[in-house]
């Protein structure tokens, strides 16, 4: 463990700490964030109404739309001069979801990532090839700071440029790689083309996340890169990567750092809390965040909590892999995008009609997204322009097929299925 005192805190102490921290968070939101004060006021709630952890169910959820409504800094609870970093969720333009960190938040961020990486097998002195994207996306800088905190030597490669990545892996011989699972397979292909086998590669550990993946994919990555791979989970609204991570000795569910993030699983329709072990929407409260704590944030991610004894000595609960989402968000190479964002970007083209379909496939190692859209002009230059604009505005790489008017299915009264998922299970 990176921090045994915290990770193995006796359960009664952990629950008492959570209750105190939740009360402090509610009081802080009431005092400092107008939007929360108004909501609590309407419901007649204050921090004093949280007498047990069970009382949390009476408090309102926070949703992604709340961040958009208060864009950019409306939910922050510190003056802007105290900010030390700002991130924005990937794949969004215009009213992105913006998150802020003060010095204390960055300290906690590095701590939870360091715990995550330690659980993943990373140790001081190892070289760490970080292929998560740097920039507004939390992945690159978040993992970077945590790896440094742990005492690893970080190679800040960022995403893309596969041939260069391969060259750096050959030359620097890192023990650890961190990226999305789909990109790990792209790198495995490229390394194999250069004649590498798992035995000739220096890599020992892979820390993979930012998008859903399966145990079958884990086996493939492990076999082809000669690594042990663990699942890192997180989201910018709560912190970034490192909200939870699997232990490499178990590879069975990601430990949630419950002294900072309070987890609940709720029913996707009713919002009622569900017991440990049942699948539902993961709802998280960031209890120690000072620049932007969020109460009961609706992640949209479907999973379950795995309580009970484990061999690692930690008292914190694990969460299972993400099974899917309660909304229509698509995750493409780690980048989040909603169909409505694509729709909004298409408005710029006078030739395009509001009839479109999004087809997800996975014939190769990566998920691919095909946009089929009706157009009064069907030619290659327009097709390329659509692809370019979507890449520029949303950060997503997709292919485009222009169709003649009337070629795509129309709604027959019910909800039109915009996203057609043709991905095979891995
Ligand atoms: P991140 O930088 O962690 O990807 P974002 O805020 O851009 O943060 O995206 C968060 C979303 O990405 C999560 O709500 C979830 O849907 C998805 N995600 C992150 N990590 C994983 C993971 N390990 N497995 C499945 N989905 C993940
Ligand atoms: K993501």
DSSP E strands in 193-253: the ranges are 205-209, 228-235, 240-246
Task: Count the alpha carbons within 13 Å of 357 in the hemisphere toward its beta carbon.
Answer: 19
Cβ distance 284 to 210 under 8 Å? no
Enter the tokens of residue 166.
Answer: 């391969």
Q: What is the mean pLDDT of the chain?
A: 94
Whether this model's ipTM surpasses 0.95 comes out as yes
Q: Quick check: CB of 241 below 6 Å from ligand 1? A: yes
With b for 16 or more beta-carbon neighbours within 10 A and e for fewer, the 402-418 pattern comes to bbeeeeeeeeeeeeeee
pLDDT digits (tens, 9 = 90+) for 304-324: 999 878 999 999 999 999 988
Say yes or no: do domains 68-329 and 338-421 share a fold.
no
Task: Note the pLDDT of residue 17.
Answer: 98
Residue 216: exposed, middle, or buried by beta-carbon count in 10 A (0-12, 13-18, 19+)? exposed
Atom number of ligand 1 nearest to Cα 241: 3
Rounded Cα gap, residues 148 and 78, in angstroms: 27
> Which 3 state secondary structure label does DSSP give 127?
strand
Q: What is the DSSP string of 54-119?
A: GGGGGSPPB-HHHHHHTTTTTT--S-GGGEEEEEE-TT--SS--EEEEEHHHHHHHHHHHHHHHHH
Query: Residue 385: is its pLDDT beyond 70?
Result: yes
Residues measured by CB to lie within 5 Å of ligand 2, the ion: 210, 334, 336
Task: Note the pLDDT of residue 411.
Answer: 67
Give domain 68-329's CATH number out of 1.10.606.20, 3.30.365.10, 3.40.50.1860, 3.40.50.12780. Answer: 3.40.50.12780
Query: How would residue 414 be classed by pLDDT, with cut points 50, 70 and 90?
Result: low
Task: Note the pLDDT of residue 93.
Answer: 46
Cβ distance 98 to 67 under 8 Å? yes
Q: Can you name the CATH fold of 338-421?
A: GMP Synthetase; Chain A, domain 3 (3.30.300)
Residues with Cβ < 8 Å from 118, sequence gap 6 or more? Answer: 1, 2, 150
pLDDT digits (tens, 9 = 90+) for 54-104: 999 999 999 999 998 999 999 999 999 999 999 998 544 456 789 999 999
Backbone angles phi, psi at 22, to 5 degrees: -65, -40
Q: How many C-beta atoms surround the C-beta of residue 2 within 10 A?
A: 20
Task: Note the pLDDT of residue 48.
Answer: 94
- Centre of ligand 1 to C-alpha 340, Å, is 19
In the chain, what percentage of residues exceed pLDDT 90?
A: 80
Q: Quick check: CB of 211 below 6 Å from ligand 1? A: yes
Pocket mutation for ligand 1, best pick of 221, 330, 336, 337 (most atoms within 8 Å of C-beta) = 336
Nearest CA to ligand 1 atom 20: 210
pLDDT digits (tens, 9 = 90+) for 44-68: 999 999 999 999 999 999 999 999 8
Which of 54-58, 246-250, 352-356 is predicted with the least confidence, judged by mean pLDDT? 352-356
Cβ distance 305 to 274 under 8 Å? no
Domain residues of the chain, as ranges?
68-329, 338-421
> Which 3 state secondary structure label does DSSP give 153?
strand
């Amino acid at each position: 463990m990176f921090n045994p005192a915290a990770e193995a805190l006796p359960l009664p102490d952990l629950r008492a700490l959570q209750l105190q921290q939740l009360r402090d968070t509610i009081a802080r939101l009431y005092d400092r964030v107008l939007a929360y004060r108004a909501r609590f006021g309407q419901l007649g709630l204050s921090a004093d109404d949280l007498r047990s952890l069970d009382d949390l169910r009476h408090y309102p959820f926070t949703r992604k739309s709340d961040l958009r409504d208060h864009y950019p800094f409306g939910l922050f609870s510190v003056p802007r001069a105290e900010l030390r970093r700002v991130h924005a969720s990937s794949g969004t333009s215009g009213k992105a979801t913006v998150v802020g960190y003060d010095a204390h938040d960055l300290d906690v961020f590095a701590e939870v990532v360091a715990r995550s990486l330690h659980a993943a097998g990373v140790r001081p002195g190892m070289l760490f090839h970080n292929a998560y994207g740097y920039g507004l996306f939390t992945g690159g800088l978040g993992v970077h700071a945590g790896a440094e905190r742990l005492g690893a030597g970080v190679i800040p490669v960022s995403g893309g440029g596969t041939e260069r990545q391969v060259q750096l892996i050959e030359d620097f011989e890192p023990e650890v790689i961190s990226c999305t699972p789909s990109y790990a397979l792209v790198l495995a292909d490229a390394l194999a083309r250069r004649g590498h086998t798992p035995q000739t590669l220096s890599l020992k550990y892979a820390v993979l996340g930012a998008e859903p993946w399966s145990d079958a994919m884990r086996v493939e990555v492990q076999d082809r890169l000669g690594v042990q791979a663990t699942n890192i989970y997180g989201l910018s609204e709560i912190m970034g990567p490192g909200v939870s991570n699997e232990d490499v000795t178990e590879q069975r569910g990601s430990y949630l750092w419950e002294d900072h993030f309070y987890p609940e699983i709720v029913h996707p329709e009713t919002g009622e809390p569900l017991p440990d072990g049942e699948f539902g929407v993961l709802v998280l409260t960031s209890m120690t965040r000072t620049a932007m704590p969020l109460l009961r944030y609706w992640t949209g991610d479907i999973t379950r909590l795995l309580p009970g004894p484990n061999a690692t000595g930690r008292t914190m609960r694990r969460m299972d892999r993400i099974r899917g989402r309660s909304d229509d968000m698509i995750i493409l190479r780690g980048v989040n995008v909603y169909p409505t964002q694509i729709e909004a970007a298409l408005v710029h083209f006078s030739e395009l009609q509001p009839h479109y379909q999004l087809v997800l496939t996975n014939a190769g190692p990566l998920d691919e997204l095909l946009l089929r859209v009706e157009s009064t002009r069907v030619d290659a230059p327009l097709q390329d322009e659509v692809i370019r604009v979507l890449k520029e505005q949303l950060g997503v790489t997709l292919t485009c097929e222009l169709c003649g008017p009337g070629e795509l299915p129309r709604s027959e009264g019910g909800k039109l299925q915009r996203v057609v998922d043709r991905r095979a299970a891995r």
